[in-house]
Amino acid sequence: MKNKIISLLKNTEEEFVSGEKISEQLGITRAAIWKYMKMLKEDGYLIEAYTKKGYKLISSPDLLTYEEISNKLTTSFLGRNLLYYKTIDSTNNTAKNLANEGALDGTVLVAEKQTSGRGRLGRQWVSPEYKGIYTSFILRPKIEPMKAAKITQITAAAAYLTFKEFGIDSSIKWPNDIIVNGKKVCGILTELNCELNEINYLVVGIGINVNLDSDDFTEEISKIATSLKIANGKEINRKALLATLLNNFEKLYLDFIENENTSTALEICKSHSAIIGKDIKLIRKGEYFDAKAIDITDDGNLVVEYPNKEIATVFSGEVSVRIGDNYI
Ligand code: BTN
């Protein structure tokens, strides 16, 4: 009901919305309206009430709810079912549970804080409250499981385009990191549930360090991680950033699903790659291998050349990548 009241206050042409109108449209009593207004104030909404005139929304809090982002969303299906959590263990964990229970294609989970945010290869994802974007998309593409790696590349390209729209230049470190000023600002964790020939569901988890300050990271992590705010010198509007990410992702994703076209996304990943043309280290089960990154295949895998000139294709699930001798 709180959401309905906010939509009503936001989507009105009039300066004030009368108690009578709210009560009629939402089927609640005046006393109930008061109760909800009080709750909304506690959530950070500034709503002024004038006798005889009604209610006016003065300002909204920085929350990643559907009501707060929907006016900026242009998607047809992604995020139209948006599940909002103040605190969660991991949006990917809950997304997988919901997907197992039949959650709709395009369902998006967003949390303000994660208590067990996860990265690839069992790493932790720092997720302080109201400072980042922690989101997971539930997708049910009718594609072969082998092609799922493309969706991580589509996500990386969408993140790149999104940061660009906010004036931040980034590069993409295959398979799942977005780098700004040599440090990570965004990570993608794609998890797949499939049969031999078909995907049951895919969960694409995205973590973005938006307005984190350097003391939000431990000393160790701050060597390899940064935030958009640190890079940009000022806070970024998380609501606009999230909506832009969903819009960009859906465009590239639908091009893949409807037209089998991933050329735009892959072109972005290649031309803004942090590793193509560079000497890298591949870490496989704790062992380091020198290689040069050469290309990304149409399926979203990495082509490398080893020092003995052997050319090989590397799949994302099996390795982690370091650029030169860096930690990143
Ligand atoms: C990585 O860099 O290894 C991937 C990081 C992915 C983090 C996001 S935050 C939202 C979603 N929920 C998680 O627990 N992880 C992903």
pLDDT in tens, 3-55: 889 989 988 888 899 999 999 999 999 999 999 999 999 989 999 998 889 99
The band of 272, judged by pLDDT with boundaries at 50, 70 and 90, is very high
Q: In the prediction, which pLDDT does 92 show?
A: 98
Across residues 170-197, what is the average pLDDT?
96
Nearest ligand 1 atom to alpha carbon 125: 7
Q: In the prediction, which pLDDT does 188 show?
A: 97
Across residues 157-181, what is the average pLDDT?
97
What is the spatial distance between Cα 263 and Cα 98, in angstroms, rounded to a whole number? 31
What is the spatial distance between Cα 314 and Cα 297, in angstroms, rounded to a whole number? 10
Question: Are 45 and 61 within 8 A, CB to CB?
Answer: yes
Does the structure show a pLDDT above 80 at 325? no
Rg (CA), the chain: 22
Nearest ligand 1 atom to alpha carbon 135: 10
Taking CA atoms, 10 is separated from 180, 241, 247, 285, in Å, by 35, 20, 21, 53
Cβ 92 under 6 angstroms from ligand 1 = yes
Across residues 160-171, what is the average pLDDT?
98
**Which residue's CA is the nearest one to ligand 1's atom 1?**
119
Does the structure show a pLDDT above 90 at 295? yes
Instruction: Please provide the average confidence, as pLDDT, over all residues in the chain.
Output: 94
pTM as predicted: 0.93
Task: Return the percent helix, strand and coil in the chain, to nearest 5.
Answer: 35, 25, 35
The band of 285, judged by pLDDT with boundaries at 50, 70 and 90, is confident
Does the structure show a pLDDT above 80 at 320? yes
What is the spatial distance between Cα 263 and Cα 259, in angstroms, rounded to a whole number? 11
What is the spatial distance between Cα 106 and Cα 78, in angstroms, rounded to a whole number? 4
Across residues 293-319, what is the average pLDDT?
92
Distant-in-sequence contacts of 229-232, Cβ < 8 A, 24+ apart: 231/168, 231/180, 231/181, 231/185, 232/166, 232/167, 232/168
Q: In the prediction, which pLDDT does 99 show?
A: 98
Q: In the prediction, which pLDDT does 328 show?
A: 67
**Which residue's CA is the nearest one to ligand 1's atom 7?**
207
What is the spatial distance between Cα 187 and Cα 175, in angstroms, rounded to a whole number? 9
CA of 103 to the centre of ligand 1 (A): 20
Instruction: For residue range 64-89, list pLDDT tens digits in order.
Output: 999 899 989 999 999 999 999 999 99
Q: In the prediction, which pLDDT does 210 show?
A: 98
